[in-house]
Amino acid sequence: MAVIEARNLTYSYPFADKPAIEDINLAIERGEFVLLTGPSGCGKTTLCRCFNGLIPHFYGGKLEGEVWVAGLKTDEHPIHELAKHVGLVFQNPENQLFALTVEKDVAFGLENLGLPRDEIRRRVDWALKVTGIYDLKDRAPFELSGGQQQRVAIASILAMQPEIMVLDEPTSFLDPLSARSILETIYQLNRELGITIILIEHRLDLAARYADRIIVMDRGHIILDGEPRKIFLDDRIKLVGVGLPKVVRLYLALRDDNVNLKRVPLSPEEASRLIAEVLNSDRS
Amino acid sequence: MRRCSTLIEAENVYFIYPNGVEALKGVSLRINDGEFVAIMGQNGAGKTTLVKHFVGLLKPTKGRVLVDGVDTRTVSVAQLARKVGFVFQNPDHQLFSETVEDEIAFALRNFGFDEKTVRERVDWALNLLDLTQYRKTSPFMLSGGERKRVALASVLAWDPKILILDEPTIGQDAYQKERLRHFIIQMNQQGKTVIIVTHDIEFVAECEPRVILMVNGRIIADGDAREVLTDTVAIKEASLVLPEITQVFMGLNDLGFSWKVLGVYEAKCLILERLRGVRI
């Protein structure tokens, strides 16, 4: 069975006159890296709130259909139970951090689970090492750079050893180098630890290369769902506010002039290789 | 010949925060009337600290800043604000009214405009930023992207000569970014001096303004977007990433291409020229 499944899911916030998401059917398999994108207000954050039970337990409102996460039907299990399976990382790490040291912040969730001391120590050290911030463990989170803070936020979720991590635009406050290295870390968690990743992200230029699958939402509906290169070639993506990476736009611009690269590039390095191939074959 | 009068001048500006952090270490620059400038650098490079000096929110610890010929230490923020509109990175630092309409009217009333003008300008700003439908809505009911537009509308309403936008693209989707770009260029063409603080390199590559790179409280590069954004040494020093298309052409350097390329269309033309052996 899929690790996340939504069946005929429709949800309205309290007092809203129309649903925020409507008729969502979706199955995410264990170990997938899913990129969820779409214009502002399309319902992507709402959908993710359904995955960890914040909807309906915290937000209330009206939920129709079913959501299953790690075999649990979300409306029948409390948030703290779902949180063992699904970790949520926010856009702005400041909203998530509060302790006086990095180590205490990462340990907090585990203390709440009532784990034995040794186990807490072991998991905290592990999470700090995996995210590359072990050396910062005695520092105060609010003194750190945005990129480092986001690593602390990820480490504190990782320490809970969730099977699924949902990250809501985790790089948008970061400069490009920090953004890239955070995405590399998330990718590593996916490849090496098999954690299922659901990444909400506008910046497809940075994130598309890591994804197995892209889901595009618009006005509360899923409008596209598939492998990145296929999604980028679908004309419907241009109709919604989704920015195609420039390398994809270059691919399309060349295709308009009958220059066909072998496949859709997902990174500048790949684009250079594909263009060089065309130029070299032309010469021979 | 177009007259280039200096509108903002920083002379050897140092700034030390009360906690002892030296955020600016001898910054000198001139911005002319009608220019469009992007100030770029890593988080903590001093970009926001620098532009806060342009509206008098911060005053130099050493050195001086002149705005339209006036030393910022001799005037209040309120006086400078009439000339310099500052839109914060986080709109929540700026918004407080009960409705979008009141938010926009607030500063206008403070500046002493009559009610008729206030109403006209509020309508104009709501329309310009596509917010008319939300005029009676609380700003706090809106999405992050919409709140940013409210903050921008409330500043534009009083028609400042200089517009400073701190990280305007954060949290904006592709469609909104495209609109923002058109909007900024339009404002600039109408004669406003526009300064954006950002690390969104793709956005800057599309706008092609003058680019100033900051590292550690100092300016390390200042020039045309094409020169600065493709300067591999400076971009690396500023911990930024080269524009996507520039990176593609770095990878084609072996084939004799220059990498000083920013745009998709330009890139396509260069590749077609090479394939067909003719200039396009």
Encode pLDDT of A236-254 as tens digits. Answer: 988 887 889 999 999 999 9
**Strand pairing category for A21-28 and A4-12:** antiparallel
CA distance A67 to chain B (A): 25
What does the mean pLDDT of chain B come to? 91
Do both A157 and A63 map to the same domain?
yes
Give per-residue pLDDT as tens, B44-82.
889 999 999 999 999 999 999 999 999 999 999 888 989
Contact B251 A273 (CB under 8 A): yes
Amino acid type, A172: S
Q: Which residues of B touch A264 (CB under 8 A)?
A: none
Q: Do A279 and B267 touch (CB under 8 A)?
A: no
Query: Which of B172, B174, B244 is opposite residue A268, by nearest beta carbon?
Result: B244
Nearest residue to A32 via CA among A179, A234, A225, A169: A225
Chain B interface residues facing chain A, Cβ-Cβ under 8 Å? 42-44, 143-146, 170-177, 199, 201-202, 239-241, 243-245, 247-252, 254-255, 264-265, 267-268, 271-272, 274-275
Whether A264 and A158 map to the same domain: the answer is no
In this structure, the strands spanning B22-32 and B6-16 are antiparallel
Q: Do A176 and B199 touch (CB under 8 A)?
A: yes
Do A115 and A20 share a domain, yes or no?
yes
Q: Is B251 in Cβ contact with A271 (below 8 Å)?
A: yes
- Measured between CA atoms, the residue of chain A closest to residue B21 is A143
Q: Which of B201, B241, B252 sits opposite A276 (nearest CB)?
A: B252
Distance from CA of A203 to the nearest CA of B (A): 9
Closest Cβ–Cβ partner in A147, A246, A278 for B244: A246
A182, A86: one domain: yes
Looking at the structure, tell me whether residues A158 and A58 fall in a common domain.
yes
Dist. CA B35–CA A80, nearest whole Å: 54
Q: Which domain holds residue A280?
A: 245-284
A158 and A228, same domain (yes or no): yes
Average pLDDT of chain A, as a whole number: 91
State whether A241 and B251 contact (CB < 8 Å).
no
Token duo for residue B17: 């925060």
Both A180 and A164 in a single domain? yes
Indicate whether A97 and A205 sit together in one domain: yes
pLDDT digits (tens, 9 = 90+) for A79-96: 989 988 999 988 777 777
pLDDT number for residue A16: 86
Same domain, A147 and A254: no
pLDDT confidence tier of residue B148, bands split at 50, 70 and 90 = confident
Which of B253, B275, B278, B280 best tests the A interface by mutation, with the highest count of A CBs <10 A?
B275
CB < 8 Å to B145, chain A = 40-41
Phi, psi at B9, each rounded to 5°: -135, 125
pLDDT at residue number A284: 54
Q: In chain B, which residues have their Cβ closer than 8 Å to the Cβ of A273? A: 251
Residue from the list B144, B171, B201 with its beta carbon closest to the beta carbon of A176: B201
Shortest CB distance from B255 goes to which of A147, A205, A279? Answer: A279
CATH number at residue A155: 3.40.50.300
CB-based contact A237:A74 (threshold 8 Å): no
User: Could you tell me what percent of chain B has a pLDDT over 90?
Assistant: 72
Determine whether the interchain pair A145/B43 forms a contact, defined as Cβ–Cβ distance below 8 Å. yes
Strand order in the sheet with A4-12: A21-28, A4-12, A62-69, A72-73
In a mutational test of the B interface, the residue from A272, A278, A279 whose CB has the highest number of chain B CBs within 10 Å is A272
Q: Are residues A280 and A203 in the same domain?
A: no
The confidence score (pLDDT) of residue B129 equals: 87
pLDDT score for B1: 39
Domain count, chain A: 2
The parts of chain A modelled with pLDDT lower than 50 are none
pLDDT value of residue B2 = 46
Within chain A, residue ranges assigned H as helices are 44-51, 79-82, 102-113, 117-130, 146-158, 176-193, 204-207, 228-232, 236-239, 246-256, 268-283
Q: What is the pLDDT of residue B278?
A: 63
B173/A40 touch (CB, cutoff 8 Å), yes or no: yes
Strands (E) in B33-185, as ranges, are 36-40, 62-67, 70-71, 84-87, 162-166
A176 with A164, same domain: the answer is yes
Selected for mutation to probe chain A from B93, B241, B262, B266 (highest A CB count within 10 Å) is B241
Residues written for chain A: 284
A270, A192: one domain: no
